[in-house]
């Protein structure tokens, strides 16, 4: 199967690093013109350089976690063929200690960014008769981690939002799906792992690799069938497929790329 996204323009939010950058790379390699987005212009420029630069890479910096930031992003990028709602963050906090402001912030960034951008771009895709929207959720939206309840809440909401938009665009040509990565090694997750090591949260773990192995063996993740963390490009492969013509009959789905962590057949 050869995926050709030549002539298509894709916006990948939060593509300054990690999974988002891997998705941007995959779409670019498939021929798309890719808009790299992040919070700061420095991260955008660095990501474009790491992706190799060139005419088919553009950059935009904006705070997608706010209404004003989404408006600024849309003003700079008024139309796209492929929208990947990837921007998001998470951190580990006891549920009793999560302040109202933290609940609100994670919802605004992880959920409302995709709502606001989809509300703008999807109707334009429908008018043209072709388009793809992919929301990056997480297996944490199914298996809510007790140390990241606010994150799990947001990712469950992302899946619901993606399905809701798909239900509202019944017909051929435009699809909306979510993808559910499992535990993935990125710079962001390594920062969290280092914090766990520094704080002594994981008994006996003195390095990031030891912390990663210990978490993978914990009750929440011990059902991984590949017995390792995911790589960002493995998530990107699924997103590139869902962004292609070949995925024309896949819509309203939550597609798992979690290494088998979720113990379910549906």
Weakest mean pLDDT among 63-77, 116-130, 199-213: 199-213
- Is residue 135 located within the same domain as residue 165? yes
The mean pLDDT of 163-182, rounded to a whole number, is 96
Domain of residue 66: give its range.
9-184+233-256
| Same-domain pairing of 237 and 212 | no
- Of the chain, the percentage scoring pLDDT greater than 90 comes to 75
Looking at the fold, whether 145 and 212 belong to one and the same domain comes out as: no
Question: Does 219 share its domain with 91?
Answer: no
Q: How confident is the model at residue 211 (pLDDT cuts 50, 70, 90)?
A: confident
What angle (nearest 5°) sits at the alpha carbon of residue 230, between those of residues 23 and 133? 30
User: Phi/psi of residue 176, each to 5°?
Assistant: -135, 125
Q: Which two tokens stand for residue 153?
A: 């809440």
Same domain? 54 vs 159 = yes
Cα→Cα distances 147→6, 51, 115, 220, Å: 42, 34, 26, 11
Written as six digits, the tokens of 231 are: 């790589």
User: For residue 130, what are the contacts with CB-CB under 8 A and spacing of at least 6?
Assistant: 81, 173, 174
Query: How confident is the prediction for the chain on average, in pLDDT?
Result: 93
Q: Are 81 and 10 in contact (CB under 8 A)?
A: yes
Cα separation, 2 vs 173, whole angstroms: 19
Half-sphere exposure of 46 (CA within 13 A, CB side): 10
Lowest-confidence region among 24-38, 58-72, 111-125, 182-196: 182-196
Could you tell me if 148 and 107 lie in one domain? yes
Q: Where are the beta strands (DSSP E) in the chain?
A: 9-12, 33-38, 57-61, 82-85, 131-136, 174-181, 254-257
- How large is the greatest C-alpha to C-alpha distance in the chain, in angstroms? 57
Question: What's residue 213's pLDDT?
Answer: 80
Higher pLDDT, 124 or 209: 124
Residues 223 and 129 in one domain: no
Most confident of 22-26, 185-189, 190-194, 217-221: 22-26
Asked which of 49-63, 127-141, 175-189, 236-250 is least confident by mean pLDDT, the reply is 175-189
Q: 71 and 192, same structural domain?
A: no
Q: What is the DSSP string of 133-199?
A: EEEE--GGGTS--TT-HHHHHHHHHHHHHHHHHHHTS-SSSEEEEEEEE-SB--HHHHHHHHHHHHH
List the catalytic residue out of 13, 22, 48, 151: 151
Cα separation, 118 vs 83, in Å, equals: 8
CATH number at residue 165: 3.40.50.720
Q: Is residue 78 part of a domain?
A: yes
What is the CA angle 207-139-95, rounded to 5?
70
Residue scoring higher pLDDT (32 or 90):
32
Per the structure, the count of domains in the chain is 2
The verdict on whether 151 is a catalytic residue reads yes
């Amino acid at each position: 199967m050869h995926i050709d996204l030549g002539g298509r323009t894709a916006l990948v939010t939060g593509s300054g690093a990690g999974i988002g950058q891997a998705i941007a790379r995959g779409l670019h390699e498939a021929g798309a013109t890719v808009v790299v987005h992040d919070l700061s212009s420095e991260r955008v420029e660095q990501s474009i350089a790491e992706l190799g630069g060139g005419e088919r890479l553009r950059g935009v910096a904006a705070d997608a976690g706010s209404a004003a930031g989404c408006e600024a992003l849309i003003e700079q990028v008024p139309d796209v063929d492929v929208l990947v709602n990837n921007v998001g963050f998470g951190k580990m906090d006891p549920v009793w200690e999560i302040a109202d402001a933290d609940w609100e912030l994670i919802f605004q960034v992880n959920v409302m960014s995709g709502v606001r951008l989809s509300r703008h771009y999807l109707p334009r895709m429908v008018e043209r008769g072709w388009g793809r929207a992919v929301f990056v959720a997480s297996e944490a939206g199914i298996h809510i981690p007790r140390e990241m309840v606010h994150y799990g809440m947001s990712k469950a909401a992302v899946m619901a939002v993606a399905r809701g938009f798909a239900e509202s665009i019944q017909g051929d040509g435009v699809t909306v799906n979510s993808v559910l990565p499992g535990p993935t090694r990125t710079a962001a997750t390594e920062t969290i792992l280092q914090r766990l090591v520094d704080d002594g949260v994981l008994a006996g773990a003195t390095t990031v690799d030891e912390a990663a192995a210990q978490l993978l063996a914990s009750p929440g993740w011990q059902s991984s069938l590949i017995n390792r963390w995911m790589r960002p490009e493995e998530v990107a492969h699924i997103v590139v497929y869902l962004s292609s013509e070949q995925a024309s009959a896949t819509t309203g789905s939550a597609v798992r790329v979690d290494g088998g962590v979720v113990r379910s057949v549906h």
